[in-house]
Structure 1
Amino acid sequence: MADSNFIDYVKFCSRSGAGGAGSVHFRREKHVPKGGPDGGDGGRGGHIILRGNSQHWTLLHLKYKKHVIAESGKGGEGGRRTGADGKDVILEVPLGTVAKDAETGEKRFEITEDGQEVILTPGGRGGLGNDHFKTATNQAPHFAQTGEAGIEEWIVLELKLLADVGLVGFPNAGKSTLLSSISAARPEIGDYPFTTLVPNLGVVSYRDDKSFVMADIPGIIEGAAEGKGLGIRFLRHIERNSILLFMIPADAASIQDQYRILLGELEKYNPELLDKKRILAISKADMLDGDLMKEMELEVPKDLPFVFISAVSQFNLDKLKDLIWQAIHS
């Protein structure tokens, strides 16, 4: 996912089609000079529909669609012929796409399965033809229904990456290095803050041809929930992860303090994130000896599974995979 290609937020005007008008028509044949009403119904207006597509990983293809407009239905005709429905507009989106009302922020629904289709903006109903309005006292109604108007609304689509494991840590904690070491993903890596500017996904191979998906998001800093650094823009990507892998470097001033700050930022953003399973990886462990590791173990919160790792030297990466696999499937 290149920086310029990863788009996880789009806003556009969604306008469904209006329903076609019902027909006012009377049967007229050679030997039936005064046939009854036979006006057909109008066709339904076109829907705006979202469809899940597992081959999409970004909303880039919708970035420049500021207006999405469906066709209106056709009017009914004589002989009780119903007008054609307006053509639907189907927008294919990645799994994990959330549709929201742009004005209220209200969540409409979420696309989570390949091929799943949900109507985003429904088309207007077609009007009834005059055939529906004949009665014993009015056998020749000269009126029919107009079609229902379409709906025009502003919609926001947000993408939440679907991954088994979400990496959580400060900038330069080694998250991108780990992802590049245990998967085929090649995120940008550098020794400066915010090297990672977009989320990255990697498929991690495990034993017996098994695998799981890991997501690396831009680093969190203290105050992210209030908008500092890159703010909360990318925190939504870990809402759908099965487990959270906290990464704290071995040269951190305090393991406890960094862990506490990271937990605090997640809680401010969404308290439900604290209900997810957690694992701690203490990175850059190739600079530690056995005595230092024992000292640092005392700082690790109780009941938190942890492992010392080094993505550069491959130290304990298999052990980390074992911990992750057990957490995902326990």
Structure 2
Amino acid sequence: MEKSNFVDQIRIFCRSGHGGAGIKHFRRDKLTAYGGPDGGDGGRGGHIILKGNRNLWTLLHLRYHKNVLAEDGERGSDNNKTGRDGNDIVLEVPLGTIAVDEESGEKEAEVLHDGEEIIWLPGGKGGLGNTNFKTPTNQAPEHSQPGLPGEEGWKVLELKVLADVGLVGFPNAGKSTLLSVMTAAKPKIADYAFTTITPNLGMVEYRDGKSFCMADLPGIIEGAAEGKGLGHRFLRHIERNSILLFLIPADSKDHKKEFEILLNELEEYNPELAHKQFIIAVSKSDMLDDELAKEIERELPPNVPHIFISSVTNKNIQALKDLLWATLNAQTT
């Protein structure tokens, strides 16, 4: 597989900061030989924070951060001074990033909005100094607390592309060509399988300055849900698309079967994907006459909206934009 600047999954070891210790101390100066307790509290350990950044599209910048270790909090000092909190570490991530604990598989955080900050691994709490344990019956407490440890473990950051419309189809169905026609994106286009091995995103300019985001996703092959081809690496990105646009070429040998295979792979991976809004676009339809188009239409499922398009001749491209916009708008009302 060719090298790419698109990285959608990384594995890192994370440890938030240890809380600083509270101290045991009694006030002493030239006028006070036996003063009361004045031991300060320890500072909080540094957090590890995830921050959403809409200008990022990949986790590449975190690939070489194998160990993310936040600073420990400082211990307290005399005169009731609290120790300094450990510096937080802020990891900027693309929107659609999910943080997972490697051992348990539990999802710990999900970043969906620009500027959103989530405390992923909180730092350990600082310990209390002996001032806090003074009572009427214990005027000189000898006790203070150590700081609490932070959290640590191997974690996985996983990116699931956020887009309004996801293009789904077999390799060479014409997804990259359609994206290049409908948006300003310039995906790699060639006549062999898996030209697209990473998601390409583009903004579709609609009427009156409106726009929506479309993603050209790597092609499905039969068995993708079991990990064949690009497998799960591709299918995870489909989960975040509001609409799935199935692209089936006009020269397909069996249009109904091709749709059913695509749908089955999605359901095998995640049954919830079957509840998304589907639209079928028959690509390369410039080679069809009216009779052939009607034959293909009879093969398509009646409950799924469909449209015949051609990226080469721009046939029905604006009509496709209208259909996608209307469907997206209907979902939000």
TM-score bracket, shorter-length normalisation: over 0.9
TM-score (norm 1): 0.98
Amino acid at match of 2:85: D
What is the CA-CA distance between 1:31 and the residue it aligns to?
2.7
- In the alignment, which residue of structure 1 is the partner of 2:282? 282
Give the percent of matched residue pairs that are identical in Structure 1 and Structure 2: 63
After superposition, the C-alpha distances for 1:69-122 in whole angstroms (9 at most, x for unaligned) are 110000001111000000000000011000100112111121001111111111
Aligned: 1:76 with 2:76: yes
Residue 262 of structure 2 corresponds to residue 262 of structure 1:
yes
**C-alpha separation in 2, matches of 1:152 and 1:207:** 50
Give the SS at the match of 2:233: coil
When structure 1 is superposed on structure 2, of 3-12 and 246-255 the one drifting more is: 3-12
CA contact (8 A) 1:3 1:197 kept: no
Code of the aligned partner of 1:218: P
Q: Which residue of 1 aligns with 2:300?
A: 300
| Letter aligned with residue 158 of structure 1 | E
SS of 2:240's partner is coil
- Displacement of 1:237 after TM fit? 1.0
- Quick one: distance in 1 between partners of 2:30 and 2:228? 81
CA contact (8 A) 1:3 1:198 kept: no
* SS of equivalent to 2:291: helix
The residue that corresponds to 1:28 in the other structure is 28
- Uncovered stretches (5+) of structure 1, i.e. residues with no partner: none
Match of 1:153 in 2: 153
1:272 partnered with 2:282: no
Q: Name the structure 2 match of 1:67.
A: 67
Amino acid at match of 1:177: T
Aligned twin of 2:19: 19
2:125 aligns to what?
Answer: 125
Cα contact 1:247–1:281 (8 A) shared by 2:
yes
Write the letter of the residue equivalent to 1:143: H
Give the aligned partner of residue 231 of structure 1. 231
SS for the counterpart of 2:31 is coil
Cα offset for 1:133?
A: 1.3
Unaligned runs of 5+ in 2: none
Q: Any idea what the Cα deviations from partners look like across 1:208-249, whole Å, max 9, x if unmatched? A: 111110001110011100111111211111111111100000
Give the corresponding residue for 1:222: 222
Shift, 1:3, TM fit: 5.5
Look up the match of 1:115. Answer: 115
The 5 Å alignment of 1:149-188 reads 149-188=149-188
The count of corresponding residues between Structure 1 and Structure 2 is 329
> 2:211 & 2:141 partners in 1: Cα distance?
68
Secondary structure at 1:234's aligned position in 2? helix
Which TM-score applies when normalising by structure 2? 0.97
Cα distance between partner residues in 2 of 1:285 and 1:276: 25
Q: Take 1:68 and 1:244, find their aligned partners in 2: how far apart are those partners?
A: 37
Letter in 1 for 2:273: L
Letter in 2 for 1:168: V
Whichever residue aligns with residue 51 of structure 2, its letter is R
* Higher deviation after alignment, 25-34 or 45-54: 25-34
Matched letter for residue 162 of structure 1: L
* Distance (Å, rounded) in 2 between the aligned partners of 1:26 and 1:316: 83
2:105 alignment partner in structure 1: 105
Output the CA distance in 1 between the equivalents of 2:9 and 2:3: 14
Residue 73 of structure 2 aligns with an amino acid whose one-letter code is G
Distance 1:234 1:144 in 2: 53
Partner of 1:251: 251
Please give the alpha-carbon distance, in whole angstroms, between the structure 2 residues aligned to 1:154 and 1:261: 36
**Where do 4+ consecutive residues of structure 1 move more than 3 Å?**
none
In the alignment, what sits opposite 2:135? 135
RMSD of aligned C-alpha atoms?
Answer: 1.1
Cα distance, 1:3–1:290 mapped onto 2, change above 3 Å: farther
Is residue 248–residue 258 contact of structure 1 (8 Å, CA) maintained in 2?
yes
